[in-house]
Chain A
Amino acid sequence: MSMIEIGNLDVWFGDGHDRVDAVRQASFSVAEGESFGLVGESGSGKSTILRAITGLAPTWSGQITIEGETLTGKARTRKFYKNVQMVFQDPYASLHPRHSVDQVLGETLHLHGFKDIDARVVKLLDDVGLGGRFRFRYPHQLSGGQRQRVAIARALAGEPDILLLDEPTSALDVSVQAEILNLLTDLRDERKLTYVMVSHDLAVVGHMCDRLAVMKDGEIVEVMSVDALRKMEASHPYSQALLKASIAA
């Protein structure tokens, strides 16, 4: 059974003259335990697909099915949020500046309906490699990599099956990026997670994913396996150009 089924997805913003079609007729599916990449330049609609799945982009049509359940509109059930979680690009913007790590994780756990919050906060911090001494710190007392670890811990709080990763390392240094990518690899193995990862960096997607979709101007121009990517077997001219730019750089 596939975890995520997207069929003929259209996402648009605005009306009439101002209408922008951010995603057009996108279709792909992600199997259980698979890691799927979405690549493309800014404005190509890759993040918008994630936002449509989570209900953050309310104006869409087409079909989104998550674990066999078909979604409609922007309303999502509690169960959905327990199963699907998102990690955002900028760890500086995605954590509340006046909430300590303990509050951030504690509130999330409370919303997911857990009772043993105290033990779970400690466990979550351990799982993302932070340890107890970070528990009562505020975001400004953490480095970028540590903040992203907190954001990942928050996403893991409800014990989800699917993580949507929106450029999780593009705001970080390469050495810190390596640490976070290793953490995500380990977590996927331990918890049998399904990933959808958005990135503009082909090398990162090549490292993390099994298959990927290349997007341009809101359309998926090509879906291919990472093995094909490594062999430089991109068939669409745009993916070839993107591949060339990433190899040279």
Chain B
Amino acid sequence: MNMLEVENLWVKFPTRQGIFDAVRGVSFTLGKERLGIVGESGSGKSMTGRAILQLIRPPGIVEADYIKLEGQNLLDFSEPQMREVRGQRISMVMQDPKFSLNPVMTVGEQIMEAYLLHNNTSKAQARAKSIAMLEAVSIRDPERVMRAYPHEVSGGMGQRIMIAMMLIPDPQILIADEPTSALDVSVQRQVLDIMDALVKERGMGLIFISHDLNLVSEFCDRVLIMYAGRVVEVCDADKLHEASHPYTRGLLNSLPRLDQPRKHLEVLQRDPKWSEAPSVGGHS
């Protein structure tokens, strides 16, 4: 069963030098799985995630044959209809909790706001649900955290709060845009484990956007590798290290490794052909 189908997605930005294509003809489907999208900065991976939720602001243009959420084409939706989709059915976790939490509202107020916006219930119930959700993301003292302001919590905790907030309306699909890049290795693991457990428990679909190949190969089921706005390769995550595209190989080889010491790291030699080749379809 495909929850999300994206066909021939383009994101364009008009500039003084002509139209810049940030995403060029990307197609993929998402079931109840963990789909990774990897690439360097500027490869269009974040734009793909944002385009699905129609978060690209004018003058940016989103074009696609269709973006179907359980058969309904999101491109036909009006803005109020889209607002029903965002958060409720597809949620997004952004990279840096410092910039995505409101600095002048307590954590509790923000999570409750997210819940009350989508559910017609009492404040007391929203509060109970918020505390339960904070517990679900392994926050030890949820009562205290509810009263805290974002600057009073650590980065890892902030990101867990974001995840709690995104999951409280019980969405079917979670788009996580570099959710752990701002975190330490040890905290990274915790946050990923929490996301993994929640996704499995609730039978959600996850789109995991990251620049970290190793992380994605370990955490996801399937991986799309993007270069210059196109998907250059699709592979099973556990077979990422056998990837065949020279770009993927180049990225893998440019990583320093503890078990293979060498004097110089391999430097990626870019081939203009990579950005000209048509996008590979990421259908499962």
The answer to whether B266 has its CB under 8 Å from any CB of chain A is yes
Chain B residues with a Cβ closer than 8 Å to the other chain, count: 31
| Bound form: Cα–Cα A58–B41 in Å | 37
Query: Smallest CB–CB gap between B19 and chain A, Å?
Result: 21
Q: Indicate whether A249 reaches chain B with its CB closer than 8 angstroms.
A: yes
A177 to B212, CA, bound (A): 12
Q: Which residues of A contact B41 (CB under 8 A)?
A: 144, 173
Closest to B266 in A: A178
Residues of B within 8 A of A202 (CB): 185, 258
Contact call A206/B256, Cβ cutoff below 8 A? yes
Out of B186, B213, B257, which one reaches A241, CB within 8 Å? Answer: B186
CB-CB contacts below 8 Å: B141-198 with A: 154-155, 184-189
Q: Is the CB of B259 within 8 A of A230?
A: yes
User: Which of B154, B155, B254, B259 has a CB less than 8 Å from the CB of A174?
Assistant: B254
Whether A174 pairs with B255 at a CB distance below 8 angstroms is yes
* Pairwise interchain contact A178-B218, C-beta atoms closer than 8 A: no
Of A41, A174, A178, A182, the residue contacting B184 (CB under 8 A) is A41
B185 x A207 contact (CB < 8 A) = no
Chain A residues with CB under 8 Å of B155's CB are 42
Contact of B257 among A43, A176, A203 (CB under 8 A): A203
A179 to B258, CA, bound (A): 18
- For the complex, give the distance between the alpha carbons of A179 and B40 in Å: 14
B263–A41 CB distance below 8 A? no
Q: Which residues of A contact B80 (CB under 8 A)?
A: none
The CA-CA distance from A206 to B258 in the complex, in Å, is 6
A174 in contact with B251 given A179-B267, A207-B261 (CB within 8 Å): yes
**A229 with B258: CB separation less than 8 A:** yes
Q: Which residues of A contact B127 (CB under 8 A)?
A: none
Interface presence of B264 (CB below 8 A): yes
Is B265 at the interface (CB under 8 A from chain A)?
Answer: yes
| A230 and B261 contacting across the interface, CB-CB below 8 Å | yes
Check A245–B185 contact: CB distance below 8 A.
yes
Which A residue sits closest to B189, measured CB to CB? Answer: A245
A249, B215: Cβ atoms closer than 8 Å: yes
**A174 CB → nearest B CB, Å:** 5
Can you list 9 A-B pairs, Cβ within 8 angstroms, ordered by A? A177-B254, A200-B185, A206-B258, A207-B257, A230-B261, A245-B185, A245-B188, A248-B189, A249-B215
